[in-house]
Chains A and B, each alone.
Chain A
Amino acid sequence: MSEQGTVGTGHEHEQLGLSNGQVIDMYRYMLLARKFDERNLLLQRAGKINFHVSGIGQETTQVAAAFALDRERDYFLPYYRDYGFVMAVGMTARELMLSSFAKAGDPNSGGRQMPGHFGSKRLRIVTGSSPVTTQVPHAVGVALAAKMRKQDIVSYVTFGEGSSNQGDFHEGLNFAGVHKLPVIILCENNQYAISVPAHKQIGGKVSDRALGYGFPGFRVDGNDALAVYKAVKEARERAIRGEGPTLIEAMMYRLSPHSTSDNDLAYRTKEEVEENWKKDGIARFKAYLIGCGIWDESKDADLQEQVALEIKDATEFADNAPYPKPEETLLHVYADDREEGEKAWQ
């Protein structure tokens, strides 16, 4: 993606089948996710919420991938940094903020899980947990069900490069390769698994591992929205044609600490972080849009203001929303336990 945005005839995004409106929409989601994330860091520092796990630096890939999928029909198994992704498939800032505040109205878990543990049947975001990579075999199972029922949909799953060492990664990919299942497996390689850098996690390249499982693996620049979009779109087309899974390794950098409980300067330098801020995919995408002549600083200022209002509204809404009732702790262990849960409480 060049900042001028023109390659041959037409802009790069147009060649990929994206309209001007769609790329501006992508940019809006990236910005919304960034501002949401920054607000959560502040809210945690201010003592308003207990915890935040950040995805700053990863929004470009997340949003671009979402736009390459069928956001009305595909199934999604995002990991805990995927705010940009879940926003782009329909989760609102209000809904996510309800999760940050652990309020009853949180559609992900009703205030039960840590923020970043996404799930919504309505949006086909499959519920996730904290032990990493368990979602990979789930995505394979979703794809298996799609194949058995002859549905032309895919499942899409993400995780970090640290997770690519878990057994579930390898078991899941192998299963998907054997049965040629319509699953897109995307590693958000953000260079760190909490404090352990990628070179201490992986001897080779994550994307090369696909070879061992009999399907293609690609490495893309995760700060290049259109490169990610293209890779995921082509993977989806292959999956729909019955050609099986694709592994994509999107290279990026986790610009924020692992979580609000982490001091990242204990294991990396300020200079390294600053150097990576210069490569931020959101700034790059904005420059691309301006280069295409479809965006300018005045429009950007308006959008920043809109997004700030949306985050403010979401924060106030969630702050004022009710908590779950304490005794609701007993509910939903099994399908038939509402009555028993109430009995146990009384």
Chain B
Amino acid sequence: MAVMEYIDAIRLAMKEEMEKDESVFVLGEDVGVKGGVFTTTKGLMEQFGEERVLDTPLAESAIAGVAIGAAMVGMKPIAEMQYSDFMLPATNQIISEAAKIRYRSNNDWSCPIVVRAPIGGGIFGGLYHSQCPESIFFGTPGLKIVAPFTAYDAKGLLKAAIQDPDPVLFFENKKCYKMIKGDVPLEDYTVPIGKANLLREGADITVIGYSMPLHFCMQAAEELEKEEGITAHILDLRTLQPLDRDSIIEAVRKTGKVLIVHEDNKTGGVGAEVAAIISEECLFDLDAPIMRCCSPDVPAMPISPPMEKFFMLSKDKVKEAMRQLAVY
């Protein structure tokens, strides 16, 4: 066990899987010599050589498409999209191809790729270095989508994604890279895809979220308990597709009041589906309307500091939403 940063946990997952399995390799822009623009792949080229840590041309559809081709003949590629904002040229390859290969071939072919892409803002990245594109891919059967919040989950979910026989989108939060630290076992383990994780037990309200905003939720929950005696039950979805319906329902039933939190904008986001599941499965367990605390429905966050701050979630914003729900 060691305390490490979220970004180190991601790197360690790749390193361990590459040591174990020769068919695992990384490809993307700047992943080799530079070790990634965020240093996520730092040191991997030195250890595994430039063929297995492949600097590619700047062309996202090829990064995804070449990975898909290699995966279909038995390789286990990890395709890095430098920012999830730049992933859209690869969308056709991901949605029309990777997601449908097993289905369209009647289980003859499969496509075990991992696409890693940093999401999220708050880094003065402006419109095109800050987005959360989960909802573009969410609802595409054939894809699995994970979005870890803790360092432990970052390693365990990435290892599970690499080992998975189907395509997995791994949305890592760039704000978490250095901000989130935690205990990470140095030995081999995985975190199962499709299972949510209870971060905190409480009796007054349930908060359901994923990725970086959970950091604010956890801080807000501590303060609310200390200051006002409100206790929050917090569920980290970890996997967005397939959603862990049972854990969602169980967490909602615990308190009867639910707040859904994510940085992706509100309309058509993952939270809308979570709310629909709650409405279908446990509407009569609710003591208050379902609440959502998400980013505004504008195209993406501006770079100007006051505008970015306005767009982004914060401890104070989620704390206020949690308080409102508690007193409802």
B87 within 8 Å of A (CB atoms): no
Inter-chain CA distance A131–B73, complex, in Å, is 21
Query: Which chain B residues border A107 with CB–CB below 8 Å?
Result: 108
Inter-chain CA distance A133–B65, complex, in Å, is 10
B47 within 8 Å of A (CB atoms): no
Inter-chain CA distance A138–B72, complex, in Å, is 8
Sample 17 A-B pairs with CB under 8 A, ordered by A number: A75-B73, A109-B105, A111-B106, A119-B105, A126-B109, A127-B105, A129-B97, A131-B96, A138-B69, A140-B62, A141-B65, A171-B57, A175-B66, A334-B142, A334-B144, A335-B165, A336-B165
Inter-chain CA distance A331–B104, complex, in Å, is 10
Contacts A167-B61, A168-B62, A171-B61 given; does A112 touch B69 at CB 8 Å: no
A139 within 8 Å of B (CB atoms): yes
In the complex, the answer to whether A131 meets B69 with C-beta atoms within 8 Å is no
Residues of A within 8 A of B (CB): 75, 106-113, 117, 119-121, 126-127, 129, 131, 134, 136-146, 148, 155, 167-168, 171-172, 174-175, 178, 331-336
Out of B71, B103, B109, B144, which one reaches A141, CB within 8 Å?
B71
Residues of B within 8 A of A (CB): 25, 51-52, 56-57, 59, 61-62, 64-75, 77, 89, 92-93, 96-97, 100-110, 141-142, 144, 165-166
Query: Which chain B residues border A148 with CB–CB below 8 Å?
Result: 25, 51-52, 70, 75
In the complex, the answer to whether A138 meets B97 with C-beta atoms within 8 Å is yes
Query: Which chain B residues border A174 with CB–CB below 8 Å?
Result: 57, 59, 62
Inter-chain CA distance A334–B71, complex, in Å, is 15
Given contacts A141-B77, A174-B62, 7 further A-B contacts (CB under 8 A): A137-B69, A138-B66, A141-B65, A141-B69, A141-B71, A172-B62, A334-B166
In the complex, the answer to whether A112 meets B106 with C-beta atoms within 8 Å is yes
Q: How far is the CB of B52 from chain A (nearest CB, A)?
A: 8
Contacts A129-B97, A148-B25 given; does A141 touch B104 at CB 8 Å: no
Contacts A121-B109, A141-B67, A148-B75 given; does A127 touch B104 at CB 8 Å: yes
Contacts A134-B97, A141-B70 given; does A112 touch B65 at CB 8 Å: no
In the complex, the answer to whether A108 meets B96 with C-beta atoms within 8 Å is no
Inter-chain CA distance A138–B93, complex, in Å, is 9
Q: How far is the CB of B79 from chain A (nearest CB, A)?
A: 10
Residue of A nearest to B72 (CB): A126
Q: How far is the CB of A9 from chain B (nearest CB, A)?
A: 42
In the complex, the answer to whether A142 meets B72 with C-beta atoms within 8 Å is yes
In the complex, the answer to whether B102 meets A332 with C-beta atoms within 8 Å is yes
Inter-chain CA distance A143–B92, complex, in Å, is 21
Residue of A nearest to B75 (CB): A145
In the complex, the answer to whether B25 meets A138 with C-beta atoms within 8 Å is no
In the complex, the answer to whether A175 meets B69 with C-beta atoms within 8 Å is no
Looking at B89, B96, B106, the one whose CB has the most chain A CB atoms below 10 A away is B106
Looking at A112, A139, A155, A332, the one whose CB has the most chain B CB atoms below 10 A away is A332
Inter-chain CA distance A109–B67, complex, in Å, is 22
In the complex, the answer to whether B109 meets A119 with C-beta atoms within 8 Å is yes
Inter-chain CA distance A117–B97, complex, in Å, is 13
Q: How far is the CB of A50 from chain B (nearest CB, A)?
A: 17
Query: Which chain B residues border A121 with CB–CB below 8 Å?
Result: 105, 108-109
Looking at A109, A110, A145, the one whose CB has the most chain B CB atoms below 10 A away is A145
Residue of A nearest to B96 (CB): A131
